[in-house]
Amino acid sequence: MNLADVLVSDAQQKTIELPIGEGGSSASVDVYLRKLPFSLVFDAKDEKGKAIGGNELIAKRVAHCYVDKEGSPIFTEAQLLGNDVKVVPADVVIALHEVIVEENNLGKIYGDLLMKMNSGVNSLSTESAEKQ
């Protein structure tokens, strides 16, 4: 394998389950999903360079990752945040984001990072306690 082999440019087609209406029913939907760029994994920023998180980060991730067959975004951040005439229901936004988390291994990335951070803190605490 060559390091250049890790580069991804095309959206991948995937069938996902989305909630529809009330009552907990769902439907299978075919989507095109782009990989999440590193800039949207940690400490994302808006167009003005201001750090974002929470709902804004989720909206930015969903707007970036879900595209049509040609690679153009399907949703705007305003639609996802409820700031547009056409609004994406909250349960659908959450379901779309869960797919992004799963497809991009964010749970593993965050979990591994927390373990490394905690092990560093624990080893420093142990060393400090041993010196006393």
40 vs 85, residue with greater confidence: 85
8 Å CB contact between 85 and 76: no
- Over the stretch 67-118, which tens digit does the pLDDT of each residue have? 999 999 999 999 999 999 999 999 999 999 999 999 988 877 666 666 776 7
The C-alpha angle 9, 14, 18, rounded to 5 degrees, equals 130
9 vs 47, residue with greater confidence: 47
CA distance 41 to 106: 8
Domains by residue range for the chain, with CATH:
7-103 (3.30.2220)
Mean of all residue pLDDT scores within the chain: 84
pTM: 0.77
H-run or E-run covering 12: strand 12-19
49 vs 1, residue with greater confidence: 49
DSSP string for 65-100: HEE-TTS-BSS-HHHHHT-SSS---HHHHHHHHHHH
